[in-house]
Amino acid sequence: MNGSLPPNKPQNQPPRPNTPPKKGFNPLWIYLLMGAAFLYVWLNYNGFEPVKTEWQEVKEQMLPQNDVERLTIITNQDRIEVFIRKEKLEKYTDRLGNTPPKTGPHFFFINQTEFAVYKTVETFNEACEAGERTDDRIVKIETDTRYNYFARAMEWLMFPLILVFIWFIFFRRMTRNMGGGSFGGGGGIFSVGRSKAQLFDKDNKNKVTFKDIAGLEEAKVEVMEIVDFLKNPQKYTNLGGKIPKGALLVGPPGTGKTLLAKAVAGEADVPFFSMSGSDFVEMFVGVGASRVRDLFRQAKEKAPCIVFIDEIDAVGRARSRNNGFTSNDERENTLNQLLTEMDGFGSNSGVILLAATNRADVLDGALMRAGRFDRQIHVDLPELKERYEIFKVHLRGLKLIAGFDVDFLAKQTPGFSGADIANVCNEAALIAARKNKADIDKQDFLDAIDRIVGGLERKSKIISAEEKRTIAYHEAGHATVSWWLEHANPLLKVTIIPRGRALGAAWYLPEERQITTFEQLLDEMTATLGGRAAEELTFNKISTGAINDLEKVTKQAYAMVAYFGMSDKIGNISYYDSSGQQEYNFKHPYSEKTAELLDTEVKRLIDASYKRAKSILAKHRKGFIQLAELLLEREVIFSEDLVQLFGNRPTAADSDKPRPAGKGKKEKGDKEAPAKAKETPPSDGQQSIF
Ligand code: NHX
Ligand code: ZN
């Protein structure tokens, strides 16, 4: 392929946009064609057009005065051209201009009298020959057929030209859509095989350094080592070690993989090529592979350097074994080329590959074997302390109210990624600005968090009083059930203000934990079903609104049964596939019989949880109804208000337990449910599933 970056380019030049110099296709032939056409026209045109005259004039004046040298009958144009003798030209300067051309034609007339012309000229010539008019010379008469070659050529060329034009436009648009490369800058169809890597040199303006990254301590150490490999390779090779070829950054979206890579670029002082895995994937066959080749050729020219491929799963997805209709040959070729290139350079050649993905499980095994992406650097969602650090970074530029509690923010945002936190900070600033505040306070941040978790608040959505009631009871159901469950997430607030797609929501503050127990899963399911249960209990009617709850519960129950081995009937079996190989398999890895069993187990779990939710609601009916009515009135209720209604959240001893077995099902601390004995579900039947 074509060289796009001169090998000897000085390192301190500003970074070049990813448009290599224009080469390859030459539109010269189109210009040549046009040039030839113009030349032809120009040569045939001597700057003089014959002047129109009439046969009458020729016959009665020009011929008798012996001015005509010859006549040319254009057979296919009904036109006769008149050539005037050189010595007689000045007679006609008033009509032909001051410098009439020596060669004609000078006049033409419309040929309706061809026969008469012949006759007249013949008579004239005969008279000359007979010596009747001695000063006269014979007038020649010729015929000519004149074609408009240009027009004819155009007729022939028109169709192919239109085709070429359409093809051109189409391809141009296609490459632009797919590659994002600009056509004007030399991209276009004729450079599809070139890599789109963006080169950052050390003087890049918006440079990121490790100081700009909060959290990610372990990942930073790993990545810093890679920088060190490039800076002091001897330190490692002296001892006989080999420099690794690549490292894979793995982690959920928004956790800072790309940022980490950028920091490497900023710190390493070596050229840094950055591209996205999807840049390799193009509609044309063979393009991906040739882009890989081109990328590595460029990288080797610039070694030592770092090549960063973002979203590598776009190319690195495991090659399918069954080469059926699910296979993607083009992508596999690209991957094969990538594997070949990674083996192709010696490990000390100074090119280190960094790649980022949020789906390491789907990557091809060959990509991750030793000698390729040797090391995996896990970039996880930030934990409390890390979120605190990240908040501090993003709050740097913001005008905060005095005494702002950053720690509180970190506590309120479990499960947030670095990108989410950046978003919260920005959103908070915007919200404060909208309210014309001088500085940003805690409430702005809370609103920003709500907005990012739940979407835009839609206060103006018109909801009928009846629907409002349903919503309030639904949410009160969630709140009540979760309140009385020991392992359910602590409630933050309940709201019936529509937000995003939801008409109302119960907000929890999930506990940060690494593993989840069966009891926790069960309690969460029960709390999620509390909304539907509340609708059924209070109105004896159910609504479609619970779709999201039911979806969540169903997935949860399926995961418990099929993945976590939490059903006795299925046993300690997991049909989870972490290799991602099964993803395109339409067949389940289990028998039909097991499939049925899974279904019944899922149903049993959900049914039991639903009954449990209903029983809790029935038991705490009074508080539940009070809560719903309060919610209708206030629209938002915080956990503090719930303490007023229900008392403190029960401890392990007095909350509703899924394992009654005679001892846990005592309703201590519940004074608002006088009908408790009646509402308590029969304690055999459903026990077996727990
Ligand atoms: C609709 N929305 O789609 C209306 C506007 C039962 C009182 N016709 O369970 O709002 O019915 O506890 C993410 C989050 C769909 C995705 C919420 C997709 C909600 C929410 C349907 C309350 N709160 N349902 C709830 C609700 C609805 C829906 C979602 C989603 C309702 C319920 C949505
Ligand atoms: Zn709900």
**Distance in Å, CA 500 to ligand 1 centroid:** 9
Give the pair of three-digit tokens for residue 281. Answer: 């994937």
Q: How is residue 435 annotated by DSSP?
A: T
Cα gap 373→246, rounded to integer Å: 4
Q: How far apart are the CA of 218 and the centre of ligand 2, in A?
A: 39
- Domain regions of the chain by residue span: 51-146, 189-318+330-378, 384-454, 465-579+589-688
What are the φ and ψ backbone dihedral angles of 523, each rounded to 5 degrees? -65, -40
Structure tokens at 120: 């007249």
Instruction: List, as one string, the DSSP characters of 183-243.
Output: TTTT-SGGGTTS---EEE-TT-SS---GGG--S-HHHHHHHHHHHHHHH-HHHHHTTT---
Give the number of whichever ligand sits closest to the CA of residue 535: 1
Q: Which atom of ligand 1 is nearest to the CA of 467?
A: 7
Residue with the smallest CA separation from ligand 1 atom 6 is: 545
Class of CATH domain 384-454: mainly alpha
Ligand 2 centroid distance, CA of 241 (Å): 58
Per-residue pLDDT tens for 655-669?
Answer: 555 543 333 333 333
Pair of tokens at residue 544: 């479609």
**Measured in angstroms, how far is the CA atom of residue 603 from the centroid of ligand 1?**
22
Q: How far is the CA of 439 from the centre of ligand 1 (A)?
A: 35
CA of 482 to the centre of ligand 2 (A): 12
Question: What would the pLDDT profile of 403-448 be if each residue is shown by its tens digit?
Answer: 889 999 999 999 899 999 999 999 999 999 999 999 999 999 999 9
Q: Is the CB of 606 under 6 A from ligand 1?
A: no
Predicted TM-score (pTM) of this structure: 0.66
User: Which ligand is located closest to the Cα atom of residue 497?
Assistant: 1
**Which option is the CATH number for 51-146: 2.40.10.170, 3.60.20.10, 3.40.1690.20, 3.40.1280.10?**
3.40.1690.20
Q: Which one, of 87, 117, 309, 324, lies nearest residue 196 by Cα?
A: 309
* Amino acid in the structure at residue 617: L
Q: Verify whether ligand 1 is closer than 6 Å to residue 546 (CB atom).
A: yes
Of all atoms in ligand 1, which is nearest to the CA of residue 478? 12
Q: Mention the CATH class of domain 465-579+589-688.
A: mainly alpha
* Residue 556, both tokens: 């949860």
CA separation, residue 242 to residues 261, 381, 398, 518 (Å): 22, 32, 46, 46
Element of type H or E holding 431: helix 418-434
* Residue-level pLDDT at 14: 42
**Residue 451 CB less than 6 A away from ligand 1:** no
Q: At what angle do helices 217-231 and 257-268 cross, to 10 degrees?
A: 30
Q: How far is CA 590 from CA 83, 470, 567, 575, 602, in A?
A: 99, 41, 16, 8, 16
Say if ligand 1 is within 6 A of residue 545 CB: yes
Specify the ligand 1 atom closest to the Cα of 474: 7
- Cβ–ligand 1 contact at 387 (below 6 Å): no
Q: Which residues contact 614 (CB under 8 A, 6 or more apart)?
A: 533, 536, 537, 681
* Tokens at 137, concatenated: 């010379």
Q: Find the distance separating the first CA and the last CA of the chain, reported in whole Å.
A: 65
Triad 323, 324, 326: Cα angle to 5°: 100
Closest-lying ligand 1 atom to the alpha carbon of residue 503: 10
Pocket of ligand 1 contains residue 501 by CB under 6 Å = yes
Angle (nearest 5°) at CA 445 between 443 and 447: 70
pLDDT at residue number 496: 93
Cis peptide bond N-terminal to 17, omega within 30: no
Domain 189-318+330-378 has CATH 1.20.1250.20: no
Specify the residue for token string 């599809």: 192
Spatial contact of 257 and 249, defined as CB atoms under 8 Å apart:
yes
Residues taking part in catalysis: 475
The arrangement of strands across the sheet holding 272-276 comes to 198-200, 272-276, 305-310, 351-357, 246-250, 373-378
Contact (Cβ atoms closer than 8 angstroms) between residue 209 and residue 266: yes
DSSP state of 583: G
Buried b (16+ CB within 10 A) or exposed e, 585-623: eeeeeeeeebeebbeebbebbbebbbbbbbbbbbbbbeb
How remote is the CA of residue 425 from the centroid of ligand 1, in Å? 27
- Atom number in ligand 1 closest to CA 532: 6
Q: Which residue's CA is minimally distant from atom 14 of ligand 1?
A: 502
What's the 584 CA to ligand 2 centre distance in angstroms?
A: 33
What 3-state class would DSSP assign to 511?
Answer: coil
Ligand nearest to the CA of 543: 1
- Asked if 546 and 480 count as a contact pair (C-beta separation under 8 A), the reply is no
Residue pair 338/288 in contact by the 8 Å Cβ criterion: no
CB atoms within 10 A of CB 310: 19
The pLDDT of residue 666 is: 34
Residue whose CA lies nearest to ligand 1 atom number 21: 545
Using CA atoms, how far residue 496 sits from 190, 361, 506, 603, in Å, is 57, 40, 9, 30
Ligand 1, atom 19, residue with closest C-alpha? 502
Tell me which residues of the chain have a pLDDT lower than 70. Answer: 1-26, 44-47, 100, 112, 132-136, 173-193, 201-206, 282-285, 320-328, 344-348, 579-586, 651-690
User: Residue 51 pairs with which residues in a beta bridge?
Assistant: 107
The 3-state DSSP composition of the chain as helix, strand, coil percent (nearest 5) reads: 50, 10, 40
The rounded distance, in Å, linking the Cα atoms of 101 and 88 is 12
Ligand 1 mutation pick, 450, 501, 508, max ligand atoms within 8 A of CB: 501
Check if 189-318+330-378 and 465-579+589-688 are the same fold. no
| Whole-number Å distance between alpha carbons of 436 and 434 | 5
Angle at Cα 656 formed by Cα 652 and Cα 660, nearest 5°? 100
Residues whose CB falls within 8 Å of the CB of residue 395, separated by 6 or more in sequence, listed in order: 404, 406, 425
Q: Which ligand minimizes its atom distance to the CA of 473?
A: 1
Number of the ligand 1 atom closest to the C-alpha atom of 471: 7
Ligand 1, atom 12: closest residue by C-alpha: 505
User: Residue 475: CB within 6 Å of ligand 1?
Assistant: yes
The DSSP element (H or E) to which 547 belongs, if any, is: helix 547-558
Q: For ligand 1, say whether the CB of 454 is within 6 Å of any of its atoms.
A: no
Q: What is the pLDDT of residue 663?
A: 34
pLDDT for res 683? 34
